[in-house]
Structure formats: C-alpha cells, structure tokens
Amino acid sequence: MSGPAAVAPSTPPATPPTAPTVTRGGRGSWVGGGAMLLVVVLLAAVVPYAVTLGALSSLVMLFALVILGTTWNLLAGYGGMVSVGQQAYVGVGGYALIQLADAVGAPPWAAVLAAGLVGAAIALPTSYLVFRLAGGYFAIGTWVVAEVFRLVTMQIDGLGGGTGLSLSAFRGTDRVERVAFVYWFALALMVAVVLGTYLLMRSRVGLGLTAIRDDRVAASSLGVAVDRGRRLVYVAGSAGAALAGALIALSTLGVTPGSIYSVNWTAAMIFIVVVGGIGTIEGPIVGAVLYWVLQQALAPLGTWYLVVLGAVAVAVVLLAPRGLWGLAAGRYQLFPTTHHVRPLAASATVAPRTGR
Amino acid sequence: MSDSLLRVTGVAKRFGPVVTARDVSFEVAAGEALGLVGPNGAGKTTLLDIVGGTQRADAGTVVLDGRDITRLGAAARADRGIARSYQVPRPFGGLTVYENVLVGASFAGQRHARTGPADDAGAQAWHALEVTGMTEVANTPSGSLRLLDRKRLEVARALATRPRLLLLDEIAGGLTDRELPQVVRLVRSLRDDGVAVVWIEHVLHALLDVVDRLMCLAAGEVIAQGDPHDVIRSPEVIEVYLGSTVDAVTDPAPDPATTPPGETA
C-alpha cells in the first residue's frame, strides 16, 4: 500500500463510503435466460434430427446472420461507428478460411477461428486509416475500404481472380457428417459470440464503451480512453464479421469476390440491427430471426422480396424507432447490462483524492 | 513554485480570426478555489477546455503538480486528477444516473490503482450521488432528467473521479434561492477537503462566497486577478461589465448564499 497516506499523512482516514446494493436483471432475466438456454438445447439436440440437410444449412446462415448483426451492433450500437464496409471482413474471413483449410491444411474448425483472427489482424491497421474520418465520411470511407479489399483480392494470384475459390477440405467427407459438423460448430460459435458480447457490455469496458457512444467528449473527461475503446470495438466487431464470413464459406463450400464482398452483407446487418433494436444485445437476435424468416418465406417472389424487406424496415423505423426489441425493452432484459441501485443509509463525507 | 497544483503559462488559442486566449498565465494551489469571470465570449470555457485537455492550446504550457501535461489528452488528465463539469450538460443519455456517475468512478485514476481496487467504484459513485443529493433519481435514465438535475449530474460525475482539481463551468445558473446555498456549501466543503477548484460563474455572489481568488478574462486576456473584492472593484473589470453586474455586487442584498455552512437551508 503505497497509497495516499504515505504522501499526505495529515489526511484523516476518511470513512470508506459504503457501496450501494446493485442488482442487474431480475426474475424476468432468469426466466428469459432459461428460455434461451432451452432454445439452444433444442437447436443442438433435437433440430438436427428433425429437419432436412437443406434446412440445417439454412439455419447455419441464420447463425451467421446473428453473428453479423451482433457484431455490427457492437460497432454502431455501442461504438457509435456506422460502418457500411463490414463486408470487407466478411470477405477476408471467407478467403482466409479457404486458404487456411486448403493451402495450410488446418482442420476446418481451427481455420474458422483463425480466420476471425486474420480479420482482427487486418482491422487493426485499417482502423488507423478509417478513424481519421468522422460521421458520414467514416461510413463512406469504410465502404471504399471494402471495395479496395475486393479489388485487391481479385488481383492476388492464387485467390482465383473473379471466379473465387472453392473449399476442398471436405472432399471425401460424408455429406451428412459435414452438414452436421458445420451446423453444430456454427451454433456454438453464435452462442459464444453473443455471450462474449454480453459479458463485454456488462463489464467496466462495456460501461466505458456506452459512455463513448453517448458523448465522446464527456467520456474522455471522465478518464475513458476513447480512441482505445473505439479501436477495441472496431477490431472485435471486424473479427466477428470475419468469423461469420468464414462460416458462410464453410457452409457454401466456396467464395466468389462478388458475393462474399457484397455490400448486401452490410445492408443485412443494418436491417437486422435497426429493425431488431440498436444498442441492445437482444435486438440483433430478433432482427436476424426476422430477416431470415422473411428470406425463407419470400425467396420464391424474386425482386418482391427486397420490396417487402424495405417496407418492413420503413414500417419498423416509423412505428417502433427503437426497433422491435425496443417495444419490450425496459420491461424485459434477457441480457441485463443495466445497474439498478437500491438506496441505503446515508454515509460518510467527501473523500478527495489527496496526495496523488 | 512547487506548491502550486496547476500552473498555466502563456496559453494562447485562436479560432480563425477570433482570439479566445492570449498569453494567459495563472496558478492554482492545492485546496485553493479560483473564480473565473468575464463577459460572454471572453474565453473562460476555452480556458477550462485547455486545462481539461479537450482542446489543445496553440502555445503555452499546462503543468499539474510539477509535471508538464500540455500534450496529454483529456482521459490521461482525468487519470491524474483533473475533473470537469460542462456548462451545457453532456449526460450519457442511454445510461441511468447511477451508471453515469459510475463511469467517473470506474475510469479516472483507476489505471494507476492509487485509489484502491475498482471494486469500490460503486461506493464512490454512490457517495458522489449522496453529496450532490441525487440518490433519489439514481435509477432514472439520465436522458430524461430535468435541466437542473442534468447540471447536478455534471458535478456528481466529476466528483466521482475524486479529483484533485475540479473545473466547474456555470453550475449555479438557474438554481433557486434554496438550491444555491447547497451548491456553495458543496464547493466550499470540497475546497476545505483539499480539492483545488476553478469555477466559472455568472452568479457572482455565489462565487464570491467561496473563492479565494478571482480572475477576470476579457477577449482572451487576463485583465485582473487577485483578491476577489479588489478584482470586482478594479476599473478594468467595471469597464468590461459596463456597470450592470457590478452594481449587483457592490450593493449586495442579504442573500441566502451567505448562510454559514452547517446551517440548514
């Protein structure tokens, strides 16, 4: 203890202030958490034996969408960074997976995780570039970066140019076995990403990130390292997009630059987050399920699918500006991040930080 | 001059043709309260920005406790014990009042672990709410607070960082006659506990009740500093105030702000 007492011995030992009783979440959260656990158990133990392989593959896409929504929400909803270029990392993840699995020979699960790390490794230097831009310029800048990634990928020998790459690591693997593996792995990854995001936002770091989102200047005045916090969010969110990209490539057995670097991924992320409820953990899950259901139900309608998607987005933004989860938030928190304090008896005097 | 906590030397700042600080120098000792007055646009808030680190000066140095902090950002300065309240409140609207204050208690100074483990951040936050009388609204989303509570939250958040130097920007404006003495008492008790205070305030009688010294800025320049009553009577200060405010000060009505500390309002 080389504390203040050593420097300013004259300071009387202030009565340590008592901590208030803080509760985070209530019975509703436990019930909701239990229900979600049940859903995960059903998805893991029952669904794979009850539906077709095609349905399983399409559920993998749902899990990837949840990861994309959750991590874009981390950027926009908690970091205040509206990126329109997260497809850059979806693409990096997809290509990295195939290179790591086929060229390096890593087992597919390890290749997916490593692809996430590759996304993070590329996001870190990129952040120094795009963080020079603010607001709308940041949004456009990230899109430009994504286009550059796509064009560069097409120029690199061995990445298949305009036709892309196909995954051969599963060659010789039984189809049922392959789809089941990808399904369970994607489910586990989705659970890990959502839980990880929740734990991050519940922590002290998450509190600082929320402060940065709400008022950057005030946050810095209170000691929150704003640049470091934003960089952390950008790198983590991009790693998440890369994980999702790797999953998509693993499930579809290949990538083409046009589809894996498509801005439609980011459009989907924005839809999922805005319609589901920005700045909440639950919102992107709700949004991803809705997006996926619409996608499944409207696929036969061709272009009308996009029209309906747009109409839904407009309706939600007008009628429920805080998203679908926003209608329930306040009453329910499946992932409680807020602190509820209960008053307690009055305590000591001011304890200034003397002699620092 | 090792006994000055804050030493600002030759600070200059301009926005295009507008000079908001020209060769500004002043010092604040530990546990001293300095009042900052001057007409609107004199550069008072800019000066707090420069000391707090949210703006860089074009020239000059800021030294805290003998260490040059001119190049440090706001967060690093908060870490070293500078806290700041904003004239136009800047609450974290998505967080509750308690969580707003918890941000101050959890970050500033915690990296250097001189204030004990972050575990007592909750206690520190709660204490700041008690001192500022905000415990009743602890669970209220800060975005839905009334203006006065927002101003109070500014002070609570700054206090939660347990500052050595507190920069206050117009916290008394709009307060009722009942609330004003509470603010005066709060600032005075902080100063008595060894916190240095730089306080910008248009409510002069509240300011004069607390501060040890007064500094008057006009058009970015220090036109007077020293004993508060000498400063407000100096011809330069009277001139920039065009008489009106000075009348109110030189002829003080019996006001509640002069109630001695300890008495109930």
Least CB–CB distance from A351: residue in B95, B157, B162: B162
> Which of A197, A353, A16 has the alpha carbon at shortest distance from B64?
A353
Q: pLDDT tens digits, residue range A70-87?
A: 999 999 988 889 999 999
Interchain CB distance below 8 Å, A343 and B115: no
Q: In this predicted structure, what is the pLDDT of residue A45?
A: 84
* Lowest model confidence (mean pLDDT) among A25-34, A181-190, A240-249, A261-270: A25-34
Interchain CB distance below 8 Å, A18 and B190: no
Which chain A residues contact residue B190 at CB under 8 A? 350, 352
Residue A336, min C-alpha distance to chain B (Å): 13
B119-138 residues touching A, CB cutoff 8 A: 119-124, 126-127, 130-131, 135-136, 138
Per domain, the residue ranges of chain B are: 1-81+163-265, 90-162
Which chain A residues contact residue B94 at CB under 8 A? 210, 213-214, 279
Interchain CB distance below 8 Å, B93 and A208: no
Q: pLDDT tens digits, residue range B41-78?
A: 888 999 999 999 999 999 999 999 999 999 999 999 99
Whether A205 has its CB under 8 Å from any CB of chain B: the answer is no
Mean pLDDT across chain B: 84
Q: Give the three-class secondary structure for A171.
A: coil
In whole angstroms, give the CA distance from residue B209 to residue B249: 12
CB A25 within 8 A of CB A202: no
CB A4 within 8 A of CB A11: yes
* A350: CB partners within 8 A, 6+ apart: A14, B127, B131, B159, B189, B190, B193, B195
Residue B253: pLDDT above 50? no
Angle at A94 between CA A88 and CA A96, to 5 degrees: 95
* A276: CB partners within 8 A, 6+ apart: A69, A282, A283, A284, A285, A286, A287, A288, A290, A323, A324, A325
Residue B237, min C-alpha distance to chain A (Å): 31
Q: What is the pLDDT confidence band of residue A302, given thresholds at 50, 70 and 90?
A: confident
Q: pLDDT tens digits, residue range A193-226?
A: 999 999 999 888 999 999 998 999 999 999 999 9
Which chain A residues contact residue B109 at CB under 8 A? 223, 353, 356
Q: pLDDT tens digits, residue range B15-51?
A: 888 888 889 999 999 989 999 998 888 889 999 999 9
In whole angstroms, give the CA distance from residue B239 to residue B251: 17
| Rg of chain A taking only CA atoms, in angstroms | 23
Q: In this predicted structure, what is the pLDDT of residue B63?
A: 94
In whole angstroms, give the CA distance from residue A230 to residue A325: 25
Interchain CB distance below 8 Å, A222 and B83: yes
Q: Which residue in chain A is spatially nearest to B163 when comparing CA positions?
A: A353
Interchain CB distance below 8 Å, B159 and A350: yes
In whole angstroms, give the CA distance from residue A46 to residue A60: 15
Q: Which residue in chain A is spatially nearest to B50 when comparing CA positions?
A: A221
* B208: CB partners within 8 A, 6+ apart: B35, B214, B228, B229, B232, B249
Q: pLDDT tens digits, residue range A262-285?
A: 999 999 999 999 999 998 899 999
The answer to whether the Cα torsion of A189, A193, A195, A200 is positive or negative is positive
* B125: CB partners within 8 A, 6+ apart: B98, B101, B102, B104, B105, B106, B160
Mean pLDDT across chain A: 86
Phi, psi of B197 (to 5 degrees): -130, 135
Whether B145 has its CB under 8 Å from any CB of chain A: the answer is no
In whole angstroms, give the CA distance from residue A161 to residue B160: 57
In whole angstroms, give the CA distance from residue A157 to residue A159: 6
In whole angstroms, give the CA distance from residue A339 to residue A228: 24
Whether A231 has its CB under 8 Å from any CB of chain B: the answer is no
- The H-assigned helical ranges of chain A are 4-7, 27-45, 47-50, 53-73, 87-98, 108-130, 135-155, 175-202, 204-214, 216-221, 226-252, 257-260, 263-276, 282-298, 304-319, 323-328
Q: What does the block give as tokens for A284? A: 């992107």
Pairing between β-strand B196-200 and β-strand B33-37 as defined by DSSP bridges: parallel
Least CB–CB distance from B94: residue in A20, A214, A224: A214
Least CB–CB distance from A3: residue in B92, B94, B114: B114
Whether B151 has its CB under 8 Å from any CB of chain A: the answer is no
In whole angstroms, give the CA distance from residue A271 to residue A193: 19
Q: Residue B54, class by beta-carbon neighbours within 10 Å (0-12 exposed, 13-18 middle, 19+ buried)?
A: buried
Phi, psi of A31 (to 5 degrees): -60, -50
Cβ count within 10 A of residue A144: 16
Predicted interface score ipTM higher than 0.90: no
Residue A21: pLDDT above 70? yes
Beta bridge partners of A341: A22
Q: What is the pLDDT confidence band of residue A121, given thresholds at 50, 70 and 90?
A: very high
Whether A27 has its CB under 8 Å from any CB of chain B: the answer is no
Query: What is the biggest distance separating any 2 CA atoms in chain A, rounded to whole angstroms?
Result: 79
Beta bridge partners of B33: B197
Q: Which superfamily does CATH assign the domain made up of B1-81+163-265 to?
A: P-loop containing nucleotide triphosphate hydrolases (3.40.50.300)
